[in-house]
């Protein structure tokens, strides 16, 4: 009888422990490759996008699976997309009105709210790595242009010629858009990643070339902590893509975190509120990816498509482009 009571007690404890522990063991990563007007992608190009998104997703997930940090997972996934000419980040970034690439990026550690950001970068192959360097090796949060690049060189970063970023596809786009219209256009392809690791730490990162034909010196939301990127272990991690000026004005990423923190909203409620209500009220285009401290994720967008992918330890694993 006594034995039975002990056994029942043990089973009960195991059950309780599992329930309490549920959520802390969950880990995962969500990525995006930009939101925008995406339609009639040729089958071959669609395949290329999906395969590159999967590669980035898998690489980030592998780091999390082996016990690595969410910061490392986010950095790795973004590096893969920055190096691909498919996306508007690193190689393949859009060109400003003068015809060259100016890159912005930011990263945030939800564990201690440390953050790093760079803007107006012209010669650093992987701007997200420089954003991380600013976070880890400087007392600052944000550095721009020449000063940021000199800081990179001092820390052993390699410089690339500004022509490295220019692809034939972007050049053709630039010439066409310059000729037919003089307004800004969000050419989809900004990249971002958010992750939750086995230690319960959240991280977010975003990297972009900004908007096609943007004014020389223009900075969008991607390197602005609280607008394009935010992470807080108490709430969630967010990376945004879309018409940056509106994301800055609305403080999109921090707003999502605040709705969870102060209004007790779920991740889905918070992201839906900001993307489908607040952003929509301004008729602004875009979307976000987000993951919360429990491993719930959201990927809302109000455009025709958003390159995106998610892989969570509970078995969810998908890469999508359209709604």
Judged by the rule CB under 6 A, the positions of this chain that interact with ligand ASP are 34, 186, 188, 190, 208, 210-211, 220-222, 241-242, 244
Which is nearer to ligand ASP, 210 or 251 (by Cβ)? 210
Q: How far is the CB of 219 from ligand ASP (least distance, A)?
A: 8
Q: How far is the CB of 260 from ligand ASP (least distance, A)?
A: 22
Q: How far is the CB of 137 from ligand ASP (least distance, A)?
A: 25
Which is nearer to ligand ASP, 63 or 130 (by Cβ)? 130
**DSSP assignment of 227-277:** TTEEE-TTSEEEEEEE-HHHHHHHTHHHHHHHHHHHH---HHHHHHIIIII
Which is nearer to ligand ASP, 63 or 306 (by Cβ)? 306
Given a contact cutoff of 8 angstroms between Cβ atoms, the answer to whether 221 and 227 are in contact is: yes
User: Whole-angstrom Cα distance, residue 213 to residue 197?
Assistant: 38
Active site residues: 190
User: Whole-angstrom Cα distance, residue 175 to residue 171?
Assistant: 6
In this structure, are strands 28-36 and 103-109 parallel, antiparallel, or unpaired? unpaired
Q: How far is the CB of 12 from ligand ASP (least distance, A)?
A: 50
Which is nearer to ligand ASP, 81 or 186 (by Cβ)? 186
Given a contact cutoff of 8 angstroms between Cβ atoms, the answer to whether 270 and 3 are in contact is: no
Given a contact cutoff of 8 angstroms between Cβ atoms, the answer to whether 220 and 51 are in contact is: no
Which is nearer to ligand ASP, 102 or 258 (by Cβ)? 102
Alpha-helical segments (H) within the chain: 2-21, 43-65, 70-83, 127-137, 145-154, 168-180, 244-250, 252-263, 267-272, 280-281
Q: How far is the CB of 250 from ligand ASP (least distance, A)?
A: 12
């Amino acid at each position: 009888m006594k034995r039975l009571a002990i056994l029942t007690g043990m089973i009960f404890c195991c059950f309780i422990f599992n329930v309490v522990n549920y959520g802390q063991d969950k880990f995962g990563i969500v990525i995006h490759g930009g939101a925008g007007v995406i339609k009639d992608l040729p089958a071959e190009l669609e395949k290329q996008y999906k395969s590159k998104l999967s590669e980035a997703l898998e690489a980030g997930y592998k780091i999390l699976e082996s016990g690595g940090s969410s910061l490392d997972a986010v950095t790795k996934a973004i590096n893969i997309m920055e190096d691909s000419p498919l996306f508007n980040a690193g190689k393949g970034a859009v060109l400003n009105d003068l015809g060259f690439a100016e890159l912005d990026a930011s990263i945030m550690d939800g564990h201690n709210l440390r953050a790093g950001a760079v803007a107006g970068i012209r010669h650093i192959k992987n701007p997200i790595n420089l954003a991380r360097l600013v976070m880890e090796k400087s007392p600052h949060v944000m550095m721009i242009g020449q000063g940021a690049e000199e800081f990179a060189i001092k820390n052993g970063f390699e410089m690339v010629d500004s022509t490295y970023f220019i692809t034939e596809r972007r050049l053709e786009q630039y010439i066409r858009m310059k000729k037919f219209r003089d307004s800004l256009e969000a050419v989809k392809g900004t990249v971002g990643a958010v992750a939750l690791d086995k230690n319960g730490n959240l991280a977010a990162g975003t990297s972009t070339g900004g908007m096609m034909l943007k004014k020389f010196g223009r900075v969008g939301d991607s390197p602005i902590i609280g607008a394009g990127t935010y992470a807080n272990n108490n709430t969630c991690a967010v990376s945004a893509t879309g018409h940056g000026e509106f994301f800055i004005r609305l403080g999109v990423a921090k707003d999502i975190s605040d709705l969870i923190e102060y209004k007790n909203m779920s991740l889905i409620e918070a992201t839906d509120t900001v993307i489908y209500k607040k952003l929509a009220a301004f008729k602004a285009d875009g979307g976000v990816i987000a993951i919360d401290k429990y491993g719930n994720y959201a990927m809302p967008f109000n455009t025709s498509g958003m390159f995106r992918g998610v892989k969570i330890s509970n078995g969810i694993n998908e890469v999508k482009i359209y709604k």
